[in-house]
Amino acid sequence: MLVQFKRNAVSAMERMALPVALTILMAIGFPCKVNASPDLTPEELAKAKGLFFNRCAGCHGTLRKGATGPNITDVNLKQKNYDTNIIKAFITNGTGGGMPSWNNILSEEEIDILARFLQEAPPVPPEFSLAEMKESWKLIVPEAQRPKKPEHNKNWQNFFGVVLRDAGKVAILDGDSKEVISIVDTGFAVHILRSSASGRYFYSIGRDGKATMIDLWMAKPDKVAEVKTCTEARSIDSSKYKGKKGNFEDKLAIIGCYWPPHFVILDGQTLEPKKVVSTRSYTYDTGEYHPEPRVAAIISAHHDPEWIINVKESGYIWAIDYTDIKNLKITQIETERFMHDGGWDASKRYIMMAANMRNKMVVVDSETKKQVAQFEVGNKPHPGRGANWTDPEFGPVSATPHLGEGLVAVWGSDPKGHPKNAWKVVRKIETLGGGSLFVKTHPKAKHVWVDHTLNPDEKIRTSVCAFGKDSPNEKPQCWQVADHGRVVHFEYNKAGDEVWIAVWDKVGELVIYDDKTLKEKTRIKADWLVTPTGHFNVYNTMTDTY
């Protein structure tokens, strides 16, 4: 079912149409005539806070100072003369820079309330102490009562954890039989899952800062512990190091919070919170105090007892040595502001992160703990964990797609073997349009896959593209996966020959393709598949294979 699309047509149109429409509106004085007063009733204020938390804070920040999205503080909006109608137009139509249109997702009334809320000073939410975390902590099944070996004879390293976002659940599927083994109540809007080093546990983190731990060895995998560590979060990982400095496999976990801006170290077997460290600090370049430097992606080192975290707004990557958490060693590496997501290169020595509002990728050497490169890619890179493979001409390479344009940028990532290409963009592969969130491959796979989840055009956002690792000069093959929802995220099975894709909708789907032939193998449609988003294979997640 290969189909042709007019590349980038919609994003380009959209990019032009909104500013033009706003200029005309302003020129004719339209904005001042309706809804001039931004005042909110107490009920509207409560509603606006909830809407902002759920829909806007992720990109713009709780204090609205900007990150993946621009600064939208009341002061900044006032300086730009943006009033209720202009703000409503932005929210309704989205922007060419990657903000989706909220039309049909938010009601007109909700958009109006939000537009008025944004003209008031941002309310500052409360802090969240270690004592509060401990109060929320529930050890549901203590270690001694957990199975000593798997209680089933399934190939659990090929299990998939599927986030059912709006249902507040995680489904565990057997990757071999495609059967649902368990559906676990995890809580509000789970964002991601990460595996423990052994792969036995899945850790989930919700947008509301609640983490859960799922034991895959139980006859029916279920929660064994849960805890709330903040009021807003996106990342979690486990300790993966086993070596000269000790064996830390499954011993510790870390959660990165958006609000309050801090990270928390927990016991990896029980989720008992052990230590909280604030990330509030000064920006690396101008030395200004920032009240909200949020923790974005976290990756766990395999060669060192270390986690690497992005401290988004201040422009640092922190390498946290967890060998002695009472005397914690943190190396603060100056990089670039607005570091969002990323992952390892194939050797797991280099960390490659997207500073998405700077249109750059940043590379840090985990051995020397220094930044080794920064280079421009395209408009708002968003790699997820990225993709690593060997290009026939340029050797080992890595890649990111973009929120703001239909482009996969490919750069050399083997400074030892191919120094000439290292940290330089060597290929630009055109996709159907912007709004991409994820790119994915597997060492054994033939193809590299990319989505267009946030594209304003329905046909494009439900389509994926795949290009051959061995034939990068050929145009990618692109096709529509479903005719509803948004198509998002890829995960391979353990063998690396199958790709799982989610159709993110009220009743969603999981579509499984053969990586070699690009043919659909299985389509899972079911009532329990409520808003599937991320899906994580145990083996690939525990080994950071991508």
Residues with a catalytic annotation lie at: 56, 59-60, 99, 340, 382
Q: Which of 10, 59, 409, 501 binds ligand DHE (CB under 6 A)?
A: 59
Contacting range for ligand DHE; rule: CB under 6 A; set: 4-12, 150-158, 222-230, 291-299 = 291-299
The neighbour count for residue 225, using CB atoms within 10 Å, is 25
488 contributes a contact to ligand DHE by CB under 6 A: yes
For residue 453, the minimal CB distance to ligand DHE (Å) is 6
Contacting range for ligand DHE; rule: CB under 6 A; set: 79-87, 296-304, 327-335, 458-466 = 296-304
Q: Which of 385, 442, 447, 452 binds ligand DHE (CB under 6 A)?
A: 385
Nearer to ligand DHE by C-beta: 22 or 172? 172
Nearer to ligand DHE by C-beta: 95 or 235? 235
Find the residue with minimal CB distance to ligand DHE: 58
Locate 378 and state its tokens.
Answer: 């395209």
Place of tokens 């946290």: 320
**What are the Cα distances from residue 421, in Å, to 235, 289, 345, 416, 546?**
32, 37, 14, 10, 21
534 contributes a contact to ligand DHE by CB under 6 A: yes
68 contributes a contact to ligand DHE by CB under 6 A: yes
Residues 6+ away with beta carbon under 8 Å from 33:
none
For residue 237, the minimal CB distance to ligand DHE (Å) is 6
Which helix (H) or strand (E) covers residue 134, if one does? helix 130-136
296 contributes a contact to ligand DHE by CB under 6 A: yes
Q: Which of 38, 268, 315, 384 binds ligand DHE (CB under 6 A)?
A: 384
17: Cα within 13 Å, side-chain hemisphere: 14
Nearer to ligand DHE by C-beta: 82 or 338? 338
Q: Cis link prior to 260 (omega < 30° from 0)?
A: yes
Place of tokens 């509301």: 208
Contacts with ligand DHE in 199-238 (CB under 6 A)?
A: 234-235
Contacts with ligand DHE in 150-179 (CB under 6 A)?
A: 165
- 221 by DSSP, 3-state: which? coil
**What are the Cα distances from residue 377, in Å, to 357, 358, 368, 432?**
11, 9, 24, 17
For residue 296, the minimal CB distance to ligand DHE (Å) is 4
Nearer to ligand DHE by C-beta: 192 or 422? 192
Nearer to ligand DHE by C-beta: 184 or 218? 184
150/480 Cα distance (integer angstroms) = 39
Nearer to ligand DHE by C-beta: 24 or 105? 105
Q: Which of 392, 495, 487, 421 is nearest to 449 (CA)?
A: 487
116 contributes a contact to ligand DHE by CB under 6 A: no
For residue 352, the minimal CB distance to ligand DHE (Å) is 12
Complete DSSP assignment for 225-264 = EEEE--SEEEEEEE---EETTEE-TTTEEEEEEEESSEEE
Q: Which of 292, 304, 341, 457 binds ligand DHE (CB under 6 A)?
A: 341
Total number of residues binding ligand DHE (CB under 6 A)? 21
For residue 24, the minimal CB distance to ligand DHE (Å) is 31
58 contributes a contact to ligand DHE by CB under 6 A: yes
Contacts with ligand DHE in 430-469 (CB under 6 A)?
A: 437, 453
107/90 Cα distance (integer angstroms) = 14
Nearer to ligand DHE by C-beta: 188 or 289? 188
355 contributes a contact to ligand DHE by CB under 6 A: no
The neighbour count for residue 246, using CB atoms within 10 Å, is 13
Looking at residue 23, what DSSP letter applies? H
Q: Which of 400, 364, 344 is nearest to 543 (CA)?
A: 344
398/5 Cα distance (integer angstroms) = 26
Contacting range for ligand DHE; rule: CB under 6 A; set: 148-156, 179-187, 259-267, 295-303 = 295-303
Residues 6+ away with beta carbon under 8 Å from 94:
14, 18, 100, 101, 102, 456
Q: Which of 113, 298, 464, 482 binds ligand DHE (CB under 6 A)?
A: 298
For residue 74, the minimal CB distance to ligand DHE (Å) is 20
Residue 467 near residue 448, CB atoms below 8 Å: yes
319 contributes a contact to ligand DHE by CB under 6 A: no
- Sheet with strand 395-400: strands edge to edge: 387-391, 395-400, 407-412, 425-430
Chain residues in the site for ligand DHE (CB under 6 A)? 58-59, 68, 165, 191-192, 234-235, 296-298, 340-341, 384-385, 437, 453, 488-489, 533-534
